[in-house]
């Protein structure tokens, strides 16, 4: 048994060295690949901030969902959007963008909710709950309709992601690129003195195809976003997400 383990470890080491060599030679671009098996996951979006003391428990819950690939028997693609409206209260979240705040406001309008808050979790674009409330999150995910499988392929390179997709007749296709397993030393604000972990941090959100069209988008990547990934999804004007595809890297 020990000999087999040694052989397996040696093979893994060789594979890792080959991958590093390909990166060094600039040959890390993949072939176009379809969405990962069985993956038309429910897209869940956590609106959060490193300046919010109520957010770390929600971040931990989302990270656990990401690690397990879902919740219960439901496949889930969790995304984290860091909003910027906490930034003037002591700590400027380095992952925050005004566009993510606007996305949360768009959901509030679509869901006829006059509040935006953190941590808020939006499930399938159709329901919102407190992101740290496991029972509420579980109910919302279990009640969410299963998205259709989105026709999409991905080609990953060191600094680009090329996504080709066919959009349904009533929804645009978007791709969200995330960075995984980030760590930040927070020195001010409500979480001062803490080292905050955040997972599935969205770094790019770009339209791939408009409703009823087939198109391709090239998304620029930062090679520093290691251990990342992406999900493509079809979203209607009413904000509901009707199809999705988890994209292999």
For the stretch 7-57, pLDDT in tens is 333 433 333 333 333 333 333 445 555 444 446 999 999 999 999 999 999
- Residue with tokens 């953190």, as numbered in its chain: 118
Closest C-alpha to 118, from 68, 191, 54, 62: 54
pLDDT digits (tens, 9 = 90+) for 116-132: 999 999 999 999 999 99
Tokens of 236: 């209607």
Angle CA(138)–CA(150)–CA(204) in degrees, nearest 5?
75
- Report the C-alpha gap between 76 and 5 in whole angstroms: 33
Closest C-alpha to 49, from 117, 124, 111, 108: 117
The pLDDT, as a whole number, for residue 16 is 35
* Per-residue b or e along 161-170, where b marks 16 or more CB atoms closer than 10 Å to that residue's CB: bbbbbbbbee
Listed in sequence order, the residues at least 6 apart from 133 whose beta carbon sits closer than 8 Å to its beta carbon are none
Q: How many CB atoms lie within 10 A of CB 49?
A: 28
The pLDDT, as a whole number, for residue 249 is 81
- Report the C-alpha gap between 126 and 167 in whole angstroms: 19
Residue ranges of E strands in 53-131: 70-71, 74-82, 120-123, 127-130
Residues in the chain where the model's pLDDT stays below 50: 1-29, 34-38
Contact of 155 with 216, CB cutoff 8 Å: no
The pLDDT, as a whole number, for residue 39 is 67
- Report the C-alpha gap between 110 and 97 in whole angstroms: 21
* Per-residue b or e along 77-104, where b marks 16 or more CB atoms closer than 10 Å to that residue's CB: bbbbbbbbbbbeeebebebbbeebbebb
Domains (ranges, CATH) in the chain? 33-247 (3.40.30.10)
């Amino acid at each position: 048994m020990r000999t087999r383990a040694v052989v397996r470890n040696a093979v893994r080491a060789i594979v890792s060295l080959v991958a590093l060599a390909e990166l060094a030679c600039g040959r890390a671009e993949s072939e176009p690949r379809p969405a990962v098996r069985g993956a038309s996951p429910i897209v869940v979006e956590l609106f959060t901030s490193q300046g919010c003391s109520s957010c770390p428990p929600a971040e931990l819950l989302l990270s656990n969902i990401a690690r397990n690939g879902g919740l219960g028997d439901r496949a889930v693609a969790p995304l984290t959007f860091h909003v910027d409206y906490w930034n003037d209260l002591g700590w400027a979240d380095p992952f925050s963008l005004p566009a993510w705040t606007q996305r949360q406001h768009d959901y509030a309008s679509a869901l006829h909710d006059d509040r935006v808050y953190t941590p808020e979790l939006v499930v399938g674009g159709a329901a919102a709950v407190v992101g740290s409330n496991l029972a509420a999150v579980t109910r919302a995910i279990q009640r969410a309709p299963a998205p259709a499988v989105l026709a999409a392929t991905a080609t990953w390179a060191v600094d680009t992601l090329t996504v080709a997709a066919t959009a349904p007749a009533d929804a645009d296709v978007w791709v969200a690129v995330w960075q995984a397993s980030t760590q930040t030393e927070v020195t001010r604000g409500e979480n001062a003195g803490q080292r905050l972990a955040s997972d599935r941090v969205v770094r790019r959100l770009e339209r791939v195809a408009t409703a009823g069209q087939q198109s391709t988008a090239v998304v620029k990547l930062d090679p520093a976003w290691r251990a990342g990934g992406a999900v493509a999804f079809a979203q209607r004007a009413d904000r509901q997400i009707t199809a999705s595809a988890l994209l292999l890297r």
